[in-house]
Structure 1
């Protein structure tokens, strides 16, 4: 099914497919921020955060990266070291240590598909590493006519790369578009060591298959929940489609968990309507029934900016910034950023901070000095920021303080 259908036809289709099932109750108690720079009462937050850029210095740590897609770190607190781990679109694993030594390895991924927005998409190093060397990778596989998102696992060695790669899960449906894969991975925290370790992965709607985001039996436009063995998580929200954790997503990217267990997700809207969501199991986030953006042609996609039983975003970016990744910053190296969501962007070429004020979430642009598309972000063992730039000659840039005093704001 292609997206050229009218919204009227889509609504009939969605209702027939059972898409508008009741979602679990949400505990979001704040209104979404639609145009954050103009809201009254947030000037003090914005002013404090905007001083960030004038109080930092940058340093290039890794250069000559060809279309990197994801960045993460391995922090050894005992030995006070940080390894930077990067994966590139075309299947290269790059590892840099504290001494500046850089190692490059090839990833042996089955039927890697690299056209459009495809390629290797994310790497997740679970908290059990290095006692358990298993890591996860997401990537697009297949051909022009039939491609899909896949998640695999392998064993990571910081000196020899990733070996023993095995499949975990694949999106059930194939598509013939090289865009909107999602692919962001998250390890869900658990307080009970006896509980099954759970993971999430985002999936895009494939662009031309936007209606599938509302079809529970489809795995396009969803967040999927799974175990390391590739099984559905226990107590699924939709027993008939046990992998589906949430639905109604367009092209979800940043995916992080906060200290209270809350999960934040951001995703690309069309022309406008980029958003941050507070993720809930079983929730419907609206796409394409609800959107604050328009089609790239200027046409209206939907008459609805909200809809019963569909969850509104906590932050909206219109015009679009093209958010690419996100971390929850919990270090005190930058006290003004402690307990803050930090969001990288491609189109806006900037770093944003998202904070919770008493009655809304607030987005503030805090750093755009690099003037390049930002693909990912991580934090080193000292609390410095690591920014991954985008493109054919990309870099890892360390952002560190040039003075010690910062004002503190938080996202409780």
Structure 2
């Protein structure tokens, strides 16, 4: 457990040694179009939009799609709007791919992952199906690999068949540093639409700080506590922010989870704070998001982690959740099934057992709890071909539920 004095000492030594890039102290400026909104949950502006969002639960129906899932970690969909069909894909912690077709048929396939490490928060972490599917059948998986003494985050690629699972799995990227803690992996994947590197698709993956290694989130030479950029062949993206560490896209993260791209190319990320200080951030390449120098949360013992709630050159969050909600995943909703949700971030939470809508009101981002009917920890969220919400619950007996508008139940 680090005291305020240790954090201050680390900051001074890191600045002196060049661990922080000079660009972070000199050229990082706040987005002129976005004002940080700390504690927006308590200070949200009540307007017609927020009133509409708060009535969401009373205007939807919920039905189970698949049940009896053992520790699922991620959910995604393959949507065929021409055929008006959706395949639902779930990956579980222990290395299984579950596919549910549009008729409700459930198929399960093992994932052949090298040295899969299943302990604590480890295991299979995420699955990403690039927008080129099915013309290209390449998909990405993230997972923890190694042992109790030395484990790390890994990203692999494989070929997806909706009838036979994922085959031909090959390594793409592994975090350089190993750790001896089974927590704070990050592991969320994102395809950068329109971003190419030597004609290859660009991707981002989040990495956690490993809990006991939180100072590494501020060290440019470490890949812990970062968002990393890479191509499908595992090379760094072009024009990196830090030439000495070309994989680093952003730094200063604790345990980043939800990662999505908006219609104008903006990239949103949320992450777990300690006791309080969960955040939504707008990412900009090369930016520093503060952890552990800046936090609005406290250590689990109640001790202060840092004296700073802001710091020059470090970005402030768009949204702060204190007390913590434990955000788990996120989508940018752009369908018209729910007009009140169009162009809204939808965030699932574990501790709060609820779905939150995050939207911009005037110049601030406002978080509104819109759905807690399940009273279960929510692990992930996706959308089907109609624009209905698919929610993945958490735990040893989890399920996927479909949330659809009451008036459309007969469709």
Check whether TM > 0.5.
Answer: yes
CA distance in 2, matches of 1:122, 1:151: 9
* Structure 1 segments unaligned to the other structure (5+ residues): 405-412
Deviation at 1:44, TM superposition (A): 3.2
* 1:106 equivalenced with 2:106 (yes/no): no
Cα deviation code 1:279-324 (max 9, x no counterpart): 1100000000000000000000001111111111100000000000
Equivalent residue, structure 2, for 1:237: 241
Cα deviation code 1:144-182 (max 9, x no counterpart): 000000000000000000000000000000000000000
RMSD: 1.6
- Structure 1's 146 and 273: CA in aligned 2 closer, same or farther, altered over 3 A? same
Whether the 8 Å contact between 1:3 and 1:211 is mirrored in structure 2 is no
2:407 is paired with a residue whose SS is coil
| Aligned pairs for 1:42-57 within 5 A | 42-57=46-61
2:303 to 299, 310, 327: 299
Equivalent residue, structure 1, for 2:391: 387
Equivalent residue, structure 2, for 1:346: 350
What's the TM-score, normalizing by structure 1? 0.95
Whether the 8 Å contact between 1:324 and 1:346 is mirrored in structure 2 is yes
Deviation at 1:104, TM superposition (A): 0.1
CA distance in 1, matches of 2:2, 2:177: 16
Deviation at 1:194, TM superposition (A): 7.9
Equivalent residue, structure 2, for 1:58: 62
Equivalent residue, structure 2, for 1:202: 206
1:11 is paired with a residue whose SS is helix
* 1:337 equivalenced with 2:338 (yes/no): no
* Structure 2 segments unaligned to the other structure (5+ residues): none
Higher alpha-carbon deviation: 27-36 or 224-233: 27-36
Whether the 8 Å contact between 1:138 and 1:149 is mirrored in structure 2 is yes
1:348 is paired with a residue whose SS is coil
* 1:369 equivalenced with 2:373 (yes/no): yes
CA distance in 2, matches of 1:242, 1:168: 16
1:30 to 30, 34, 39: 34
| Aligned pairs for 1:290-329 within 5 A | 290-329=294-333
Please identify runs of 4+ aligned residues in structure 1 that moved more than 4 A.
2-5, 191-195
Equivalent residue, structure 2, for 1:154: 158
What's the TM-score, normalizing by structure 2? 0.95
- Structure 1's 191 and 235: CA in aligned 2 closer, same or farther, altered over 3 A? closer
- Structure 1's 256 and 89: CA in aligned 2 closer, same or farther, altered over 3 A? same
- How many equivalent pairs are there? 403
